[in-house]
Amino acid sequence: MRPDQEIERQLEDWLEEEARPIPHEVMEGALEAVARTPQVGARRSGLPWLGSRPMGMLGGAAVLFLVVAAGGLAVDRFRSLFPTESGGAGTVQVWDPVADWRSAPDQQNPSPDSYGNPAVWGYLRSTSVRHEPTTYILMPNHESDWPGFLREAWSEPAMTNVVVAVWPPDAVIYLHPTSGVHTILAWTSPVAGEVTIDGVVARPQNPCEEPSDGLIFSVDRHSETLQAMGLDLGQRTPFNLTTTVGVGDTVYFVADSDGDANCDLTQLQVTIRLSP
Amino acid sequence: MDRELVERAQLGDESAYAALAVRIGDRLYAAANHILRDTGRAEDATQQAMIDIWRMLPQLKDPDRFQAWAYRIVVRAAYAEAGRQRLWSLRSSAVTPDRTFAPDHAAGIADRDQLARGFQRLPVDHRAVVVLKHFAGLSNLEIADALDIPEGTVRSRLHYSLKILRAALEADSR
């Protein structure tokens, strides 16, 4: 039997031998993106932001493509590393489905918000193609069986890939519908007043290995669609709207496969803010 | 790593950061590539990590710890890539295609092939520990800090990984 030290030495040699240099376009892309990316909590000195771009302007389009392909919402990724206002004690009440997500073993569906209000968030699927809340049902199955990953999902075990999932490293919710069945994140208002809904929705699976048609993402209040948008592969679209809600009114964020569900994984970042 | 460069980059000096990126880029990419076993995803993870490092640099308290901190960020980006891949391929094949490492055609180095196969069998979170230990040279404590896991978990993952690699190596010699 080989000693541990021998295996470790072989392993270290092998890791070194297999190491490849970073491709130039990756480095260029990163530095191009850096030039457009502000630092978090920067302590500005008198140093100017030097005009010289070490790698030139090459690859701008490639950067955009890679960033979108890598998740699309990268610019907002660091939201997960800092406290959000959701559940805070500030004067402005804000709800964020990632911040409010309840991980196992405390998962619930519907789930309370961080203010302690019960049944604010719901993880649902439709039973038809209609945008009709009476046909929506709660996902019955909670999964957290990917050790080493922070992702958890509410799913419909009777269907393939029908999930509402959270991905804290990117601070996003993932929705994946299937053909004829919408996947839905629901927010039931614990307050009355005017709320502003800000978000970004994206379809990151680009390119798709299978033929894929569009996807329709909509924001509904009850069965009324407040805003709808078609999303192509790789597309990332911000949305913003204001609506008035009463206590118990529900806003639905609906991913509709609009035909086939190939590569219909949908990323959603959203905050709901009660206007003061 | 040059402390002065790190401090300048923390103050928003892009040229200093570019110099840092050039110095550390190969190691970060190789670490991501080892963990993900997929060049395309490693490229995405590394690029994202390099952007994240820039954004977060003002938050780094001790510039002397830049390298370990940068590995922490690239591992997280690799986890995100791996998790994204799993989510995208829900209940389909969870096997990561190995586009990075073609079979080694050199004679007499069967151990390397066996190591590659054994390494491929390790879960991503175990690969990360192995890479941080045996490629990045971090201590168990630094790895625990980087991955937000107890030091005992680092030790157990290393132990398990070594067991898998040993089995892969010795399977070939039987």
Give the number of C-alpha atoms closer than 13 A to the C-alpha of residue A111, restricted to the C-beta side.
Answer: 28
pLDDT at A155 over 70: yes
Is A103 at the interface with chain B, CB within 8 A? no
pLDDT at A211 over 80: no
pLDDT for position A258: 86
Is A81 at the interface with chain B, CB within 8 A? yes
Distance CA B164, CA B158 (A): 10
Of A3-12, A47-56, B134-143, the range with the lowest mean pLDDT is A47-56
pLDDT for position A33: 84
The domains of chain A, with CATH numbers, are: 4-69 (no CATH), 78-274 (2.60.120)
Of B15, B30, B52, the CB nearest to A19: B30
Is B22 at the interface with chain A, CB within 8 A? yes
- B101-174 classified as CATH 3.30.465.10: no
Tell me the C-alpha to C-alpha distance, in Å, between residue A120 and each of A101, A184, A271, B143: 11, 14, 13, 38
pLDDT at A159 over 80: no
Buried b / exposed e across B65-103, counting CB within 10 Å, b at 16+? ebbbbbbbbbbbbbbbbbbbbbbbbbeeeeebeeebbee
Of B22, B44, B82, the CB nearest to A69: B44
If phi over 0 gives left and psi between -120 and 50 gives alpha, with beta otherwise, what is residue B73?
Answer: alpha
What confidence tier does B173 reach under pLDDT thresholds 50, 70, 90?
low
Mutant choice from A2, A10, A15 vs B, greatest count of B C-beta within 10 A: A15
Tell me the C-alpha to C-alpha distance, in Å, between residue A252 and each of A118, B44, B79: 17, 32, 30
CATH number of B1-98: 1.10.1740.10
Here the tokens at position A105 are 């073993």
For chain A, the first-to-last Cα distance in angstroms comes to 71
What are the beta bridge partners of residue A188? A250
Respond yes or no on whether ipTM tops 0.90: no
pLDDT for position A217: 96
In terms of CA atoms, which chain B residue is nearest residue A31? B18
Name residues whose C-beta falls within 8 Å of residue A13's C-beta, 6 or more positions apart in sequence: none
pLDDT for position A91: 60
- Convert the pLDDT of each residue in A52-103 to its tens digit: 222 222 222 222 222 222 333 333 332 332 333 444 444 679 999 988 998 8
Residues of B in contact with A39 (CB under 8 A): 12, 54-58
With beta carbons less than 8 A apart as the criterion, state whether B80 and B45 touch. yes
- Write A50-53 long-range contacts (CB < 8 A, 24+): A50/B13, A50/B14, A50/B15, A52/B15, A53/B14
- Convert the pLDDT of each residue in B28-63 to its tens digit: 999 999 999 888 889 989 998 998 899 889 889 899
Domain boundaries, chain B: 1-98, 101-174
Alpha helices in chain A (DSSP H): 4-18, 24-35, 60-69
Of B17, B29, B87, the CB nearest to A22: B29
pLDDT at A173 over 70: yes
Residues of B in contact with A153 (CB under 8 A): 87
Q: Which amino acid is at A276?
A: P
Name residues whose C-beta falls within 8 Å of residue A24's C-beta, 6 or more positions apart in sequence: none
Distance CA A166, CA B82 (A): 14
CB contact under 8 A, A14 and B58: no
Name residues whose C-beta falls within 8 Å of residue A142's C-beta, 6 or more positions apart in sequence: A104, A107, A109, A152, A153, A154, A155
